[in-house]
Structure 1
Amino acid sequence: MKSCLIVDDSSVVRKVARRILEDMDYIVEEAEDGQEAIDKCKDEMPDCILLDRDMPVMGGIEFLKLLRSYVGGQKPKVVFCTVENDIGAIAMALKAGASDYMMKPFDRAILESKFEFADAA
């Protein structure tokens, strides 16, 4: 089974994403901020990460840069998630190492389309 780490300070977003991803047969872990996510990645690198942009302690861009600098940190597919329709923020995330992005709010179809790659693996 594929594993996914959901990194978002919103418990509602984490709960919704968890339900969808578990329905897709993912093993799901959660983190409330980038620092907690880095700690979890050090313990065990997930196959993919759903990453929020704005969080306390450590934001998404900072987390992404740090993740990609670690040995094995290039492995996870990272879907960057933001509420802003800001091309600059999306470009910054892609430059920092995001694999893809999606806008909030998202629905089941959007989230599934971003993570369906695992079904082919």
Structure 2
Amino acid sequence: MDDFIKILTGNVDITMVCALFFFAGIGIIINLLLHANTRNQNSKNTPQEFSIKFLLKDNWKRIILSIILIYITIRFAGVIFVFNINDDNEFYLFVAVMIGFMYDKLAEILKSRGSILKNRKI
């Protein structure tokens, strides 16, 4: 079982992986809330008042894509970058926030351009 976890985490300590995911999640939330703040409140497609349920329903594909990209980045960080994530350094936690923010921003841009992330009515 330990070997399986090492394969999944890329030899990064599981505690650090969880911390990186947590801080990347903060980056996703920041970008989601910034984007939600720019919505057209007069549109018939959006609620008048802020709704977390609507936010999640409208952006679930984008959130899933961001989480997958974050996992891939954390998993292969040792190969992509020239540093050891297991070092106890808060810099990596800040980088995780930026990664979460940037991947969600990328997903937001793809969604606005009419990609597969766009919600379609059937």
- Fold shared, TM-score > 0.5 on shorter chain: no
Higher alpha-carbon Rg = 2
Specify which structure has the higher proportion of strand: 1
Higher relative contact order (CA 8 A, sep 6+): 2
Specify which structure has the higher proportion of helix: 2
